[in-house]
């Protein structure tokens, strides 16, 4: 029975990159996590750190893998679609952003062919994420490429939705006309 450890005991006995007692912010985050504070938001408030930084520290220490936000690296999969974008997106210059947008568009088209709405949504989220990352790091031309693709994508989405709504309205009007004729 001494060999059986709880999940928490196993977690606290793992090797971590920032040892407990380390006076750095990373050490403080790891120590708090190991002491039982597992909520990223709570850790963020206590350490006055961004949640994405907390998640990065915990991920590097092998303690937490499930947190994702705008600044979480795309090298860490968030779902089954992440693998299609891993290492293929960037905004270091306009050429890189153009190639990345082409990749997003290709994947979006593939997901469309397969009627995979979740895949399409992930492609759109990647475009939005990259646009935001580029914008907030001063890469405005690169951000514009992602943003323009997303705007075009949404126009097409809205056009398709409008066509469906118009067809439904025409069908409802025809049914109403038939009902009036029958009376």
Q: Is 44 helix (H, G, I), strand (E, B) or coil?
A: helix
Mean of the per-residue pLDDT values of the chain: 81
What stretch of H or E contains 126? helix 117-136
What pLDDT band is residue 82 in, cutting at 50, 70 and 90? confident
Helices 140-182 and 117-136, packing angle to 10 deg: 140
Tokens 């190639």 — which residue? 99
16: pLDDT strictly greater than 50: no
Task: For 23-44, write each residue's pLDDT tens digit.
Answer: 788 899 999 989 998 888 888 8
Q: Are 103 and 85 in contact (CB under 8 A)?
A: yes
């Amino acid at each position: 029975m001494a060999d059986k450890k709880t999940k928490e005991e196993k977690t606290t006995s793992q090797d971590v990159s920032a040892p407990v007692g380390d006076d750095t912010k990373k050490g403080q985050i790891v120590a708090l996590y190991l002491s039982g504070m597992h909520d990223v938001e709570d850790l963020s408030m206590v350490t006055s750190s961004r949640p994405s930084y907390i998640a990065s520290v915990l991920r590097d220490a092998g303690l937490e893998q499930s947190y994702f936000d705008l600044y979480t690296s795309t090298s860490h999969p968030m779902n089954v679609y992440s693998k299609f974008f891993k290492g293929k997106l960037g905004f270091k210059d306009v050429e890189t952003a153009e190639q990345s947008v082409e990749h997003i568009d290709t994947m979006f088209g593939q997901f469309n062919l397969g009627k995979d709405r979740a895949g399409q949504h992930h492609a759109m989220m990647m475009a939005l994420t990259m646009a935001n990352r580029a914008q907030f790091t001063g890469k405005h031309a690169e951000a514009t490429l992602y943003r323009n693709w997303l705007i075009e994508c949404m126009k097409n989405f809205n056009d398709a939705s409008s066509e469906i709504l118009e067809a439904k309205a025409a069908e409802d009007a025809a049914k109403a006309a038939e009902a009036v004729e029958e009376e």
